[in-house]
C-alpha cells in the first residue's frame, strides 16, 4: 500500500503529521474488522455440525446461522448512537468483550436457544465493529489517504473470513469432518468458534493504547483533550486549524449530536444523504454476497463437491477476496469511490447471471441434490469467484468507506446507526431466506434474484451516489 512519501514517514515532524501513528491506530481499529470477518465466516464450516448437534430443520438451521445478524443490526444501531455519547473507542472496547464471550459461548452451546443467545452477543460486537472502525479511521486519517486506510478495514474483514475458512478447513481435516470429535471430547465445529478467542483478546488489549476520536471529543466539549490528540496526529499548527474547522462544522445551537439531527431543519424531512446511506447499505447485501460467505460449504456440496473440497473452495474465495481488496487500496483515492461502485455492480450482474445459468442446467439426484455437468460445474465455480472478486474490489470495501466519511460531523454517528441497522437487517433477511429458497425454488432462481439486485444497483449508483474522494470530513454536506 502506497501512503504519503518517505519524508513524512521517516520524519513525521517535517510536515507536522505523525503518519506512522495514524496508520498504527487505524490498524488497531481494523482488528475489529478482522473479528467481524472471522465471526461472520466461521459459521460457514459449522452448519453440518449445528444441524446434527441440535437436530434442526432447514428453517431452524437458517435462523441459527442468521441469528447473529439480528445482533449485528441491534449492535450497529446502538453503537452508532451510543458512540456519540460515550466515544468511538469505548464502543470498540465493549465490542471486544462481546467477541470474547460469544466465541467461547458458541462453542459450548448445547441447544439452538443457547447457541442463538451467544451468537446474538457476537452480533452486537460485529455490528458495533462494522460501524465504529470505519468511523474511527475516517475521523483520524487525512483526506488524501483516508480511502486507502479505510479500505484496509475491508482487507481485515476478508482476512478474518479467510482465517475462519482456513481454520475451519484445517480443523475439519484433522478431525476427519466438522462433526467428528477433535480434542478433549469436543467436536471440531466447536473448536472452529474457539479459534476466535486469541484475536479477540488481542483487540481488547490493543484498544487501550489508541486515543479517542478528536471529532467526538470536540462534540462533547472536551476541547483540551481533542487538541492534544489533534496535535499528536497532525502537529501543532495543523492540529489547531483542524480544531477550529471541526468546531465550526457542528451545529451552532447544540454541539452534541442527536438522532433528530437526521431531519433537515429546512424541509422537515429526513436528509437525502441518510437515504443514500441506507441504499448503499441494503444493496450491498441484496446482491447475495453473504450467501457465498455463510453458506459456501453448503452451496458447493449442493452441486456435488465433497465437504473437504467445499471448505477448500472457501479458502480460495477468501484469498481472491484479499487480492481484490488490495486492488481497491491502490485505486480508491485515485479513481474515486463512485466508479468502483458502478463497475463492481456491472461485473457482479454478469457473473451472477452466469452462476444462475449454470445452476439452471442441473438436475436432481436420488437424494435431491443438484448435479451439474463437468463444464457447468466449472462455469459455476469460476463465475462465483469472479463475482466475489468484483464485490471485494467495489461494494465490499467502498460501501464501508463511504458510510464512514459521507455524513457531516453532526450526524455521522446517527447516520451510521441508521445505515448500519439497514445493512444488517438486509443481511439477516438474505441469510435467513437462503435455505428456504434453496429448498423451495432452487439455486438458479435464488441467484436470479441476486442478479436482478446487482443490475438495479448500477442505476442506484449512477443516479444517487456522489463522489467523496479527497474531501475533508468538514466539507461533507447532507
Give the pLDDT band of residue 459 (cuts 50, 70, 90): very high
Bridge pairing between strands 370-371 and 181-183: unpaired
Percent of the chain with pLDDT over 70: 79
pLDDT reported for residue 205: 94
Calculate the CA 399 to chain-centre distance: 9
Segment holding 364, helix H or strand E: strand 363-364
Which of the two residues, 147 and 368, has the higher pLDDT score? 147
Q: What is the DSSP string of 445-456?
A: HHHHHHHHHHHH
Which of the two residues, 96 and 435, has the higher pLDDT score? 96
Other CB atoms within 10 A of residue 424 CB: 27
Contacts of 12 (CB under 8 A, 6+ apart): 18, 19, 20, 21, 235
Exposure class string for 232-268: b at 16+ Cβ within 10 A, else e: bbbbeebbeebbeebbebbbeeeeebeeebbeeeeee
Q: If we measure between CA atoms, which residue out of 382, 408, 416, 430 comes closest to residue 283?
A: 430
pLDDT reported for residue 327: 86
- Mean pLDDT, to the nearest integer, of 45-66? 66
Other CB atoms within 10 A of residue 367 CB: 6
pLDDT reported for residue 254: 44
Residue 139: is it exposed, middle or buried by C-beta count within 10 angstroms (0-12/13-18/19+)? buried
Give the pLDDT band of residue 282 (cuts 50, 70, 90): very high
- Mean pLDDT, to the nearest integer, of 122-133? 84
Give the chain's radius of gyration (CA, Å).
22
CA distances from 27 to 33, 35, 100, 228 (A): 10, 13, 20, 21
Q: If we measure between CA atoms, which residue out of 384, 391, 329 comes closest to residue 353?
A: 384
pLDDT reported for residue 402: 85
Calculate the CA 444 to chain-centre distance: 26
Question: Highest mean pLDDT range out of 62-71, 90-99, 432-441, 463-472?
Answer: 90-99
Residue 31 has pLDDT above 70, yes or no: yes
Give the pLDDT band of residue 342 (cuts 50, 70, 90): very high
Least confident range from 9-18, 33-42, 453-462: namely 9-18
- Mean pLDDT, to the nearest integer, of 435-461? 85
- Mean pLDDT, to the nearest integer, of 418-423? 85
Q: Which residues pair with 187 in a beta bridge?
A: 181
Average pLDDT for the chain: 78
- Mean pLDDT, to the nearest integer, of 224-252? 77
Q: Which residues pair with 270 in a beta bridge?
A: 263
Cα(59)–Cα(55) distance, integer angstroms: 12
Which of the two residues, 136 and 476, has the higher pLDDT score? 136
- Mean pLDDT, to the nearest integer, of 108-115? 77
Look-up: residue for cell 471440531? 188
pLDDT reported for residue 345: 94
**Count of residues in the chain:** 478
pLDDT reported for residue 9: 37
Cα(300)–Cα(303) distance, integer angstroms: 5
- Is residue 256 a contact partner of residue 219, using CB atoms and an 8 Å limit? yes
Bridge pairing between strands 363-364 and 370-371: antiparallel
- Mean pLDDT, to the nearest integer, of 185-196? 80
pLDDT reported for residue 49: 65
pLDDT reported for residue 62: 67
- Is residue 65 a contact partner of residue 293, using CB atoms and an 8 Å limit? no
Exposure class string for 25-58: b at 16+ Cβ within 10 A, else e: bbbbbbbbbbbbbbbbbbbbbbbbbbbebbebee
Least confident range from 279-283, 347-351, 385-389: namely 385-389
- Is residue 64 a contact partner of residue 56, using CB atoms and an 8 Å limit? yes
Q: If we measure between CA atoms, which residue out of 342, 431, 346, 402 comes closest to residue 151?
A: 402
Give the pLDDT band of residue 299 (cuts 50, 70, 90): low
Backbone angles phi, psi at 320, to 5 degrees: -65, -35
Cα(370)–Cα(216) distance, integer angstroms: 53
- Mean pLDDT, to the nearest integer, of 279-285? 91
Give the pLDDT band of residue 79 (cuts 50, 70, 90): confident
Can you give 411-462 as a three-state secondary structure string? HHHHHHHHHHHHHHHHHHHHHHHHHHHHHHCHHHHHHHHHHHHHHHHHHHHH
Residue 4 has pLDDT above 50, yes or no: no
Residue 14 has pLDDT above 70, yes or no: no
Give the pLDDT band of residue 2 (cuts 50, 70, 90): very low
Q: Which residues pair with 364 in a beta bridge?
A: 370
Give the pLDDT band of residue 302 (cuts 50, 70, 90): low
Give the pLDDT band of residue 7 (cuts 50, 70, 90): very low
- Is residue 470 a contact partner of residue 144, using CB atoms and an 8 Å limit? yes
- Mean pLDDT, to the nearest integer, of 17-39? 84
Amino acid at each position: 500500500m502506497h501512503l504519503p512519501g518517505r519524508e513524512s514517514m521517516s520524519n513525521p515532524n517535517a510536515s507536522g503529521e505523525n503518519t506512522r501513528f495514524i496508520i498504527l491506530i487505524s490498524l488497531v481499529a481494523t482488528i475489529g474488522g478482522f473479528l467481524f470477518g472471522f465471526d461472520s465466516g466461521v459459521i460457514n464450516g459449522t452448519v453440518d455440525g449445528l444441524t446434527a448437534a441440535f437436530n434442526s430443520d432447514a428453517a431452524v438451521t437458517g435462523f441459527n446461522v442468521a441469528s447473529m445478524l439480528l445482533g449485528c443490526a441491534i449492535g450497529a444501531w446502538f453503537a452508532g448512537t451510543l458512540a456519540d455519547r460515550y466515544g468511538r473507542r469505548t464502543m470498540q472496547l465493549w465490542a471486544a468483550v462481546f467477541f470474547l464471550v460469544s466465541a467461547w459461548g458458541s462453542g459450548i452451546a448445547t441447544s439452538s436457544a443457547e447457541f442463538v443467545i451467544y451468537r446474538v452477543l457476537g452480533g452486537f460486537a460485529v455490528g458495533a465493529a462494522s460501524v465504529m472502525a470505519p468511523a474511527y479511521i475516517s475521523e483520524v486519517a487525512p483526506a488524501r489517504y483516508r480511502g486507502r486506510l479505510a479500505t484496509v478495514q475491508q482487507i481485515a474483514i476478508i482476512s478474518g473470513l479467510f482465517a475462519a475458512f482456513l481454520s475451519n478447513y484445517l480443523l475439519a481435516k484433522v478431525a476427519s469432518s466438522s462433526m467428528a470429535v477433535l480434542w478433549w471430547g469436543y467436536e471440531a465445529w466447536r473448536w472452529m468458534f474457539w479459534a476466535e478467542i486469541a484475536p479477540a483478546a488481542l483487540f481488547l488489549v490493543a484498544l487501550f493504547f489508541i486515543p479517542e476520536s478528536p471529532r467526538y471529543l470536540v462534540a462533547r466539549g472536551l476541547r483540551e483533550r481533542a487538541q492534544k490528540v489533534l496535535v499528536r496526529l497532525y502537529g501543532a499548527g495543523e492540529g489547531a486549524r483542524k480544531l477550529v474547522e471541526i468546531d465550526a462544522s457542528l451545529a451552532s445551537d447544540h454541539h452534541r449530536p442527536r438522532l433528530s439531527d437526521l431531519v433537515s431543519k429546512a424541509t422537515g424531512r429526513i436528509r437525502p444523504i441518510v437515504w443514500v446511506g441506507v441504499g448503499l447499505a441494503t444493496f450491498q447485501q441484496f446482491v447475495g454476497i453473504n450467501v457465498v460467505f455463510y453458506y459456501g460449504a453448503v452451496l458447493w456440496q449442493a452441486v456435488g463437491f465433497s465437504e473437504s473440497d467445499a471448505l477448500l473452495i472457501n479458502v480460495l474465495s477468501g484469498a481472491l477476496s484479499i487480492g481484490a481488496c488490495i486492488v481497491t487500496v491502490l485505486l480508491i483515492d485515485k479513481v474515486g469511490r463512485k466508479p468502483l461502485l458502478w463497475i463492481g455492480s456491472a461485473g457482479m450482474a454478469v457473473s451472477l447471471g452466469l452462476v444462475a445459468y449454470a445452476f439452471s442446467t442441473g438436475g436432481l439426484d436420488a437424494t435431491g441434490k443438484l448435479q451439474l455437468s463437468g463444464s457447468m460445474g466449472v462455469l459455476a465455480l469460476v463465475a462465483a469467484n469472479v463475482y466475489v472478486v468484483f464485490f471485494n474490489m467495489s461494494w465490499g470495501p467502498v460501501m464501508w468507506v463511504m458510510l464512514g466519511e459521507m455524513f457531516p460531523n453532526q450526524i455521522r454517528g446517527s447516520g451510521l446507526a441508521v445505515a448500519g441497522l439497514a445493512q444488517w437487517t438486509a443481511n439477516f433477511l438474505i441469510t435467513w431466506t437462503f435455505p428456504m429458497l434453496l429448498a423451495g425454488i432452487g439455486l438458479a432462481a435464488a441467484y436470479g434474484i441476486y442478479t436482478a439486485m446487482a443490475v438495479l444497483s448500477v442505476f442506484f449508483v449512477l443516479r444517487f451516489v456522489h463522489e467523496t474522494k479527497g474531501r475533508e470530513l468538514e466539507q461533507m454536506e447532507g
